Structure 1
Amino acid sequence: MLSQPAQPQPPDLGRRLAKLTSILDVAKAMSAEHDLDLLLPLILFEATKVVEADRCSLFILDRERNELWSKVAQGSKSEIRLPVGSGIAGQVAQTGTVINIPDAYSDPRFNRSFDVSSGYQTKTILCVPMRDAHGEVTGVIQALNKLDGGFNAEDEELLLALGAQAAGAIENALLHEEINRLFEGFVSASVVAIEARDPTTAGHSGRVADLTVTMAQALEHLTTGPYANVRFSAVELQELRYASLLHDFGKVGVREPVLVKAEKLYPHELEGLRARFQLARKDLQLQSYRRRLEAVRIRGDRFLAEIEGEENERLTTELKKLDEVFDFILTCNRPTVLAQGGFERLHELGKLQYSDAHDQAQPLLLPREIQSLSITRGTLSPEERREIESHVEHTYRFLTQIPWTRTLRRVPEIAYAHHEKLDGTGYPRAEKAIPVQSRMMSISDIYDALTASDRPYKKAVPHTLALDILKREADSGQLDKELFTVFVEAEIPRRALHGNKAP
């Protein structure tokens, strides 16, 4: 049996099917687009094509302000806002009914002011409501000037169908924006909390984020080497930025005195030591007065002037030695490396004593003070340094409690590894397999820690010296050598500082 040849479709039916197919295609595209700035032009382009109009406008309903606002309208460069009920679009939003005007200038509802200000001549208007899945009006689409005659019932039906698809897509995009604002607000508040806990590092998290993201963007221009094909999408850059901003959040779990310790002795320890030296001064003076009395008793009053001279000279020498000892201790207290023999002298000074109010001999330097003053690097004891390093664990535990979106799920992992080293000498896990994002953050973190001028326990290191220090760590296999080369050759610090992301 011979098959019948397919019957050609009527021209109108074929055109209608093509438009419906186009609406379905754009619906798929709209559902995948979460950026409102990209979604709205897409909707307008498709609406203009579907109803064969000269131009279109889209207004979103702002229920809180009872206004319609248009972020983008063909033929207008600025945002438009109008009250619900005002103008044709406002009436459609208020009533939820379609308005189809075949002759704009003969309709009293038409406001000619836009035509007057823009020089455009509106002839025909089709304005339809956009409804969400619950049937609620969420905005309106307005088409102007049908290219061939006036808008008909089919145009109304097609624009309503497109509007329903657009309403869902816009709602999703707005929800996506709200989620982004929520995350931005949370991250900003977290950074404020970090800096309030440790004011000495204010701005550090933001600078590390700027440096790291700028370096990630610089990888796009590499054509050779292991990172030639590494590219970060916009959401991956956002993930990297969040991880960089929050990499030190775990410091909220570290004791504040340890966190802000600027010298080897805590302030209260130094004050106690200072008070003991004051007592030692008074003890020297008391011993001097006792010797004066004894000398006068033995040698007689006629030698009083001579005795006074001898004791004044002796007391001055003893007080000078005591002051010199205290100055030496103050030098030891600073986060500097002591000269040769300095630590041995500290232990010798541990033998010094003074007499208290009960004439009991007391040590001038306590064993724990000698131990603290003997710290060879920085201001932290090994126990305190371990407590500071625990901030990475605190950060990871905190970040893993947050229900990150699918695109941001690696934030905890990236932040967790920013103190790891490629040779396995880092912390907290001493792992060698480090995500590239964490490798970049490590370089940025060290550079900013070296060059920051707001640390009370160290002076800022010049840019060139900081690069030399980073180079030594890269050459020794601790930092990623290829990424360090990018950091230097792409001038990441300069570009991050000036916000210039171009090569």
Structure 2
Amino acid sequence: MHHRYPLHIHISTLFLALILLVCGVLGGIGYQLSSKLLEESAADLTARISRAALLEMRRIIEPAEVATRLLSLQRVTSATSLKERLDSLEFMRQALDSSPALSSLYVGYDNGDFFLVGRVGHGSASEAARAPAGANYVVQSIERVGAAPRGRFIYLDAALQTLRDDDRPDYAAAYDPRDRIWYTEGQASPTQVKTPPYLFFSSRRVGTTLASRAGGGRSVVGADILLDTLGKSLAGQKVTPGSEMVLVNAQGYVLAHEDVSRMVLASPESDGKPSLARIDELAVPVLVPLLAVVRQMQGQEAAYALGVKVGGNEWRVSVNRLMLEGVPPLYLVTAIPENELMAGALQVIRQSAAATLLVLLLSIPLTWLLAQSISQSLRRLASEAEAIRHFEFSRPIVLESSIKEVTELALTMDGMKRTIHRFLDINQTVAAEQNFDRLLPRLLADTLSASGTRAGVLYLAEASQLNPAVALDDNGSVLAGELPSLDVAHAGPLLGAALAEGIARAGRLQPEDLDSLGYRGLATANLAQTSHAMAVPLCNRKNELVGAMILLSETETDSHRLSFVKALSGSAAVSLESKALIKAQKDLFEAFIQLIAAAIDAKSPYTGGHCARVPELTKMLAHAACAARCGPYQDFQLSEDDWEVLHVAAWLHDCGKVTTPEYVVDKATKLETIHDRIHEVRMRFEVLKRDAEISSLQAMAAGKDAETVRCQLAAELQQLDEDFAFVARCNEGGEFMAPESIDRLQAIAARTWLRTLDDRIGISHEEKLRKARTPCSALPVAEALLADKPEHLIARQAQDRMPENNRWGFRMQVPPLLYNRGELYNLSVARGTLSTEERYKINEHIVQTLVMLSQLPFPRHLRQVPEIAGGHHEKMDGSGYPRQLRREQMSPLARMMAIADIFEALTAVDRPYKKGKTLSEALAIMSRMQQEQHIDPELFALFLRAGVYLDYAQRFMQPEQVDAVDVEALLAATLRWPPAV
């Protein structure tokens, strides 16, 4: 997964990386240059030290050389006795004082005598201890007079006064100058000679000896020079504190070192006598491997440098050869620890790192501020882009940046934002407008506004014609009826070319084009004079022409505006097509609604206007609720979608009646089914009357008294007439059936009549199956005058049963039989003409309404249609049907429809089973119903107070039904909701 970071992080990181890189490179280069400079400086310093060491040696030796030459000219060189030799003591003391490094001056004679003047303390430690206090000088003398040589040590103070004179016979016996190298070399050389530095015998100190022949060859003058100061000089010139500097000879013996104590060892090679230490014997690890280097340099280059690693530490080593006249080459070895040598470079690095860190620390806020300054504008643009992504166009993009590209991007984005905003506004306007007729002028007006044009015409395509749907002049007035329709093939040069190519075109309209197309009235004088126009064909998804637009402008159309209009035209065309399809579907849906309602009303001539009148009355009550400025409905309002819901629900509120048998809906008498069975009953009474007359004639023929028989016949016929008249009255169902009336029916039913014909022939297959439930009786058979036979019972099939826990929530008591057509059973109906089964069948229409409507895929805004349409038989106390809803469970629209349905049913004059009530009678009944919590009392009060009842009566009721109504009395009796318990 790729991680993405903000621009200011990238800029800050880049700047900081560049700073680190530059500082790192500069630091590295500085380190390299410093290292190289330090190395070169170290090499130069080592060379200077070598030259300084050489100069130091010369500074030490040259005064001694002068003193030796001067001494060779003194009389002491030819003196034969100590006394004569002491005459030169002052000269020799001055010579010693002239050179601190000069240890002693002496003369060796060819007879073995020896005369030396030296400093006290420059000899051995034991001799220094023997010297008396205050002694500064010592005279060492050997005289070989007689058989035994005499040796003497004379100690002198600073004034050359004798402090003590010691005889040293052992000294004379042990020392003979003629055996010394300095004597032999000086005697053999006509010039002054120098010995290589060596360890002095007496003082155990390193030095060199100068010798020069004197006294006509009878003596040799010498001088001892100590090189101690050379070691100190080297120590003072160390490159670093940990450096090691050693002066060695070609054999590697140490001649000068800062630690003099390490230079003299008791070497096994000299039988335990003190000797000079080699360079590898100084107990300095880095110097150990350099002995071989020194020995290899003989006869080679004058300087040599190498690196040595000892104990994990790197050393820079240089070996420089020193050439001193008259002395074999000497070598100055310098070893410098690299960490100390590079300390300066490392310090440079540290300083550079510190400077880098300082620059970095200072750069971080500065870089951050700079990056924020740069990225702030881009972040704002990103925020604006995000706002565009979320379709937020509330504010323009205003951004001033010092970066030209950012400002240009901001201007471009602002233009894009405004374009998208205009585009979406138009699309939203088109999408939001549900009314197709209102959509057309709005679409044209928005297009004119977005495109910057002044006037225009919107045509709709129909077959090969373009019919002007709406036109707007440059004052915004709507004009359309004055424009002629255009033939697609002859739509003028500009529009015709656009239609032929299927794309928007821009151009100028000629004056004759304005006249022929009827556009002259759309434009002002200035607009008509310029006549710039855009012709925009509107094509649907199938590239079929659905319309066209002509947009008039005072200025010439540029390519950007034309492109925008092209893009807009596609959306407009799709919207037009969609809205046209929606309108067509709504029109079709409305036609189906009207068709269903008409079919229901046409099904029964006695309910011919019910499905049409209930919607009108419901809407009248809804308008009254919306117009209320006080009371419980003062805040009640309906949206356009709500009105559509109410319209559809009201027209379909009885759609379930298409499943109700017509004879049940129109049943006017108790015995009526497909026909009124009272006629069969009448015929049975006629048969009984004929039977009675036949019986009377037979009786008279048999000789009975004719008058008596006639009287009995008349009484019987009268009884039959009265019984039939009673049965006929019961069949009408106009009165309540008292128990005594039912008893009389049963008594009448007990009478029989004689059937001589088979009742199972000439009937339908279904009726045969029902009669087959009982055995066939032999003819003739006595039949009850009124009977409840098994074949009268029609069973309820499984599909007609309603589960208790049904998904619609129906809570109705379902009779076990679908129909019971028993004659006595139907005539015994207590009130009205409908039996329990038939009453349920009538009520079941609302069940079927809900079932049918709930199965329709209503759009979201129409999903309340089933609830409103199926609630007009519910009661406010929950005793209604089919779901026993209470008032709070019903929407206001459903409660309105319940009132409308009841009022229309009470006042309708086209019902076969009752007469239409007058206005006062209907309202009185409804007042009792609201008191019994059958209808909504608040809506009933609104129904009265707003005069809805009267408006309806004047439109739909007979004049004789419209009587006076005491509205105040009815309102006073109106129940307050919720009712007191």
- Alignment TM class, shorter chain as reference: 0.7 to 0.9
Supply the distance in 2 between the matched residues of 1:57 and 1:268 (Cα, whole angstroms).
67
User: Structure 2 matches for 1:351-390, cutoff 5 A?
Assistant: 351-355=750-754, 361-367=782-788, 368-390=822-844
Q: Is the 8 A contact 1:195 1:202 kept in 2?
A: yes
Aligned residues with identical type, % of pairs:
30
Give 2:741's match in structure 1, choosing from 318, 321, 342: 342
Supply the distance in 2 between the matched residues of 1:356 and 1:133 (Cα, whole angstroms).
77
Supply the distance in 1 between the matched residues of 2:544 and 2:720 (Cα, whole angstroms).
85
The alignment partner of 2:470 has SS state of coil
The alignment partner of 2:680 has SS state of helix
Which residue of structure 1 aligns with residue 915 of structure 2?
459
Supply the distance in 2 between the matched residues of 1:281 and 1:464 (Cα, whole angstroms).
47
Which residue of structure 2 aligns with residue 156 of structure 1?
562
Q: Is the 8 A contact 1:82 1:90 kept in 2?
A: no
Distance 1:361 1:499, change over 3 A: closer
Which residue of structure 2 aligns with residue 56 of structure 1?
456
Which residue of structure 1 aligns with residue 550 of structure 2?
142
Q: Which runs of 5+ in 1 are unaligned?
A: 300-306
Supply the distance in 2 between the matched residues of 1:56 and 1:375 (Cα, whole angstroms).
73
Q: Deviations over 1:393-426 (max 9, x none)?
A: 2111111221111111121122222211111211
Which residue of structure 2 aligns with residue 280 of structure 1?
688
Q: Is the 8 A contact 2:656 2:847 kept in 1?
A: yes
Which residue of structure 1 aligns with residue 192 of structure 2?
none
Distance 1:197 1:370, change over 3 A: same
Distance 1:91 1:184, change over 3 A: farther
Supply the distance in 2 between the matched residues of 1:77 and 1:336 (Cα, whole angstroms).
62
Supply the distance in 2 between the matched residues of 1:338 and 1:25 (Cα, whole angstroms).
68
The alignment partner of 1:237 has SS state of helix
Which residue of structure 1 aligns with residue 878 of structure 2?
424
Cα offset, 1:468, TM superposition: 0.9
Q: Given residue 324 of structure 1, which amino acid in structure 2 is its aligned partner?
A: E
Cα offset, 1:479, TM superposition: 0.9
Supply the distance in 1 between the matched residues of 2:458 and 2:641 (Cα, whole angstroms).
27
Are positions 1:208 and 2:608 aligned together? no
Give 1:22's match in structure 2, choosing from 397, 422, 425: 422
Structure 1 window deviating more from structure 2 (43-52 vs 478-487): it is 43-52
Give 2:470's match in structure 1, choosing from 72, 76, 79: 72
Supply the distance in 1 between the matched residues of 2:824 and 2:657 (Cα, whole angstroms).
28
Are positions 1:329 and 2:737 aligned together? no
Structure 1 window deviating more from structure 2 (222-231 vs 280-289): it is 222-231
CA RMSD of aligned residues (A): 3.1
Supply the distance in 2 between the matched residues of 1:94 and 1:9 (Cα, whole angstroms).
39
Distance 1:50 1:209, change over 3 A: same
Which residue of structure 2 aligns with residue 95 of structure 1?
501
User: Structure 2 matches for 1:482-501, cutoff 5 A?
Assistant: 482-496=938-952
The alignment partner of 2:441 has SS state of helix
User: Structure 2 matches for 1:219-234, cutoff 5 A?
Assistant: 219-234=625-640
More contact order relative to length (CA 8 Å, sep ≥ 6): 1
Q: Given residue 387 of structure 1, which amino acid in structure 2 is its aligned partner?
A: K
Supply the distance in 2 between the matched residues of 1:58 and 1:490 (Cα, whole angstroms).
43
Supply the distance in 2 between the matched residues of 1:15 and 1:387 (Cα, whole angstroms).
68
Q: Is the 8 A contact 2:468 2:480 kept in 1?
A: no
Supply the distance in 1 between the matched residues of 2:955 and 2:908 (Cα, whole angstroms).
18
Cα offset, 1:111, TM superposition: 4.7
Supply the distance in 2 between the matched residues of 1:403 and 1:282 (Cα, whole angstroms).
64
The alignment partner of 1:225 has SS state of coil
Supply the distance in 2 between the matched residues of 1:460 and 1:398 (Cα, whole angstroms).
31
Give 2:648's match in structure 1, choosing from 232, 242, 245: 242
Supply the distance in 2 between the matched residues of 1:257 and 1:331 (Cα, whole angstroms).
20
The alignment partner of 1:71 has SS state of strand
Supply the distance in 1 between the matched residues of 2:683 and 2:658 (Cα, whole angstroms).
33
Supply the distance in 2 between the matched residues of 1:47 and 1:119 (Cα, whole angstroms).
17
Q: Given residue 343 of structure 1, which amino acid in structure 2 is its aligned partner?
A: I
Q: Is the 8 A contact 2:626 2:637 kept in 1?
A: yes
Are positions 1:320 and 2:708 aligned together? no
Supply the distance in 2 between the matched residues of 1:54 and 1:255 (Cα, whole angstroms).
64
Give 2:857's match in structure 1, choosing from 378, 382, 403: 403
Give 1:186's match in structure 2, choosing from 586, 592, 595: 592
Q: Which has the larger share of strand?
A: 2
Q: Is the 8 A contact 2:598 2:611 kept in 1?
A: no
Structure 1 window deviating more from structure 2 (197-206 vs 152-161): it is 152-161
Distance 1:461 1:197, change over 3 A: same
Q: Given residue 87 of structure 1, which amino acid in structure 2 is its aligned partner?
A: A
Give 1:84's match in structure 2, choosing from 473, 488, 502: 488
Supply the distance in 2 between the matched residues of 1:314 and 1:81 (Cα, whole angstroms).
93
Q: TM-score, normalization: structure 2?
A: 0.46
Which residue of structure 2 aligns with residue 38 of structure 1?
438
Q: Is the 8 A contact 2:615 2:647 kept in 1?
A: yes
Q: Deviations over 1:145-169 (max 9, x none)?
A: x23x444434423332332232222
Q: TM-score, normalization: structure 1?
A: 0.86
Distance 1:98 1:292, change over 3 A: same
Distance 1:289 1:84, change over 3 A: same
Q: Given residue 593 of structure 2, which amino acid in structure 1 is its aligned partner?
A: V
Which residue of structure 2 aligns with residue 303 of structure 1?
none
Which residue of structure 1 aligns with residue 364 of structure 2?
none
Q: Deviations over 1:291-336 (max 9, x none)?
A: 21123xx67xxxxxxx3x5544543443233222222221111131
The alignment partner of 2:852 has SS state of helix
Which residue of structure 2 aligns with residue 302 of structure 1?
none
Structure 1 window deviating more from structure 2 (345-354 vs 281-290): it is 345-354
Cα offset, 1:349, TM superposition: 2.3
Q: Is the 8 A contact 2:850 2:866 kept in 1?
A: yes
Q: Is the 8 A contact 1:239 1:410 kept in 2?
A: yes
Q: Is the 8 A contact 1:87 1:110 kept in 2?
A: no
How many pairs does the alignment contain? 483
Supply the distance in 2 between the matched residues of 1:351 and 1:50 (Cα, whole angstroms).
91
Structure 1 window deviating more from structure 2 (385-394 vs 363-372): it is 363-372
Q: Deviations over 1:248-298 (max 9, x none)?
A: 222222333323211111235222212201101111110111121123xx6
Which residue of structure 1 aligns with residue 237 of structure 2?
none
Cα offset, 1:87, TM superposition: 2.1
Q: Is the 8 A contact 2:850 2:867 kept in 1?
A: yes
Q: Given residue 467 of structure 2, which amino acid in structure 1 is its aligned partner?
A: W
Cα offset, 1:218, TM superposition: 1.5
The alignment partner of 1:73 has SS state of strand
Q: Which runs of 5+ in 2 are unaligned?
A: 1-369, 378-399, 474-478, 757-778, 789-821, 957-981
Supply the distance in 1 between the matched residues of 2:543 and 2:676 (Cα, whole angstroms).
68
Q: Given residue 112 of structure 1, which amino acid in structure 2 is its aligned partner?
A: S
Q: Is the 8 A contact 2:472 2:522 kept in 1?
A: no
Supply the distance in 2 between the matched residues of 1:488 and 1:353 (Cα, whole angstroms).
57
